[in-house]
Amino acid sequence: GVGRRGLDRQLLPAMLIALAFLAVISLAPLVLQAGGLDNDVERVVPLTMPETPRSSNQVTLFSPRHLGQIAIFLALSCPLGAPLVLLRIRRIWRDGTVRFTSVAAACGLLFLVLWHPDMGWRGDWDLFAHPGLVINVLAWRLWEKR
40-81 pLDDT per residue, tens: 667 788 888 877 776 777 888 899 988 998 998 899 899 999
pTM value surpassing 0.85: no
Q: How confident is the model at residue 36 (pLDDT cuts 50, 70, 90)?
A: low
Q: Which residues contact 119 (CB under 8 A, 6 or more apart)?
A: 55, 57
Contact criterion met (CB below 8 Å) for 39 and 115: no
- C-alpha 85/C-alpha 135 separation (Å) is 7
- C-alpha 113/C-alpha 31 separation (Å) is 20
Q: What is the pLDDT of residue 33?
A: 64
Residue type, 59: V
